[in-house]
Amino acid sequence: MIRSLTIEGYRCFERFEMADLGRVNLLVGTNNCGKTCVLEALWLLGAGGDPRVLLDIMRRRGEMLASRGQSTRNQTEGDICHLFHGRRIQLGSRFTIHCETNSGSRFAEWVVKELEDDAQSLFSQEEDEPAYSRAPPSALCFDSNEGEAPAQLPLSSREGLPFDTVRRSRGWPVGDLKRVPPQFLGTESLSPSEVVAFWSDIALTPKEELVLRALRTIEPDTEKIAPSLPVDPGYGHPHVRGGMKAKMRSNDEPIPLGSMGDGMWRMVSLAIAGISCRDSVLLVDEIDTGLHYTVMEGMWKMLYEIAREFNVQVFATTHSSDCVRSLSSICREEVREESEVTIQRIEPDHTKAVAYSERQVTISEKQQIEVR
């Protein structure tokens, strides 16, 4: 379990620290203070240098360079300057993520360096590729204290990271492949195709009852859920709510799960994502999205049960006072060891988060103290 985190040079953080972390950690603070940046840093740290995570992060934020020339083939590029503090890069620009865990220290670092000649062997090149992607002057290099040797991704002449270069990369070391990578859940929740894919490992096991209990927090009449076949190709889109059906005790015919509202889809996504990252980290941006305040206590209890049973550490963000207050429902009355639950308040231009322990979370709820 991660006990402390240090971020240097990533996005809005020149240097930032969080300490006294627990099993469930809720990040609060004003808009644009860096809450999502912390989740991304944890995602990058746990992904073992997988460059697809970099692309996913940039794609989610729309940080892409416009295509150039008549053909769009191989032209889409991630604009990596936004990943670095100050949004400017040059040779030597870097960001580092370091954490202390129960079993030791881990760090990961990304640096812009001159491209080494032997790095070209990591990538398959095609004759019709544009010259700027065939012979880039620099590379985004990854290094860590675990896994394989350092590796590098060639950048274009515009200092962008070509998406096709990452897709066709060969031999890129991806950290400790035995470790389950973190699961990042944005405000759009899981796509239907992701829900269906994860469900194959959950159906007909005790995990299924955990998901059903989560759904019953919103709709107590829920009896069972199952994939809808066949799965439409469009179900890969995150805003489509298809692919699953629900059986209600009061109705003989199953109904589409998506027709029961965003709250049901959010709850099933939280449960499935948590279960799928056993022995890893669950990262949830704006965890209260789509949820009424009356179900948030049940949501926290469900997540805490999953976290303890599957050894998952949860990091989530919120702006909701109801979400913060309901967090006290999973706090222990007597805390005799390290906090299982923390609130981490992030303030602009502050280098350290303000940490509230499990006991302090309980006191703040009883006395209606504002911690956001």
Domain ranges of the chain: 51-167, 183-366
pLDDT tops 80 at residue 362: yes
Q: Residue 72 — very low, low, confident or very high, per pLDDT cuts 50/70/90?
A: very low
Q: How many residues are recorded in the chain?
A: 372
Cα 250 to Cα 66: distance, rounded to the nearest angstrom: 52
Residue in 368, 366, 299, 372 with CA at minimum distance from that of residue 333: 366
Residue with tokens 């805003």: 239
Q: Which CATH number fits domain 183-366: 3.40.50.720, 3.90.600.10, 3.40.50.300, 3.30.1490.100?
A: 3.40.50.300
CB count within 10 Å of CB 371 equals 18
Q: What are 202's two structure tokens? A: 């959950």
CA 13-81-25 angle, to 5 degrees, is 35
* pLDDT category of residue 372 using cuts at 50, 70 and 90: confident
Helix (H, G, I), strand (E, B) or coil at 94: strand
Paired residues of 337 in beta bridges: none
d(CA 221, CA 298): 16
Q: What residues contact 203, with CB distance under 8 A and at least 6 apart?
A: 226
What's residue 122's pLDDT? Answer: 46
More confident residue, 292 or 228: 292
Locate tokens 């062997």: which residue? 121
When pLDDT is cut at 50, 70 and 90, the band that residue 246 belongs to is very high
pLDDT of residue 125: 45
- Sequence-separated (6 or more) residues with CB below 8 Å from residue 367: none
Please give the DSSP secondary-structure letter assigned to residue 81.
G
* 54-83 average pLDDT score: 81
- DSSP alpha helices (H): ranges in the chain? 35-46, 51-61, 131-134, 163-167, 192-199, 206-216, 262-276, 296-309, 321-326, 358-366
- How many helices (DSSP H) and strands (DSSP E) are in the chain? 10, 18
Percent of the chain with pLDDT over 70: 84
CB of 319 closer than 8 Å to CB of 353: no
Q: Is the pLDDT of residue 107 over 60?
A: yes
What is the β-pairing status of strands 2-10 and 94-101? antiparallel
Residue with the bigger pLDDT between 333 and 149: it is 333
- pLDDT of residue 127 exceeding 50: no
pLDDT, average across residues 45-72: 83
For residue range 255-295, list pLDDT tens digits in order: 999 899 899 999 999 999 999 999 999 999 999 999 999 99
Query: What is the model's pTM?
Result: 0.90
17 confidence band (pLDDT: 50, 70, 90): very high
Percent of the residues in the chain that have a pLDDT greater than 90, as a whole number? 66
pLDDT higher than threshold 70 for residue 136: no
Helix, strand or coil for residue 225?
strand
Q: How confident is the model at residue 27 (pLDDT cuts 50, 70, 90)?
A: very high
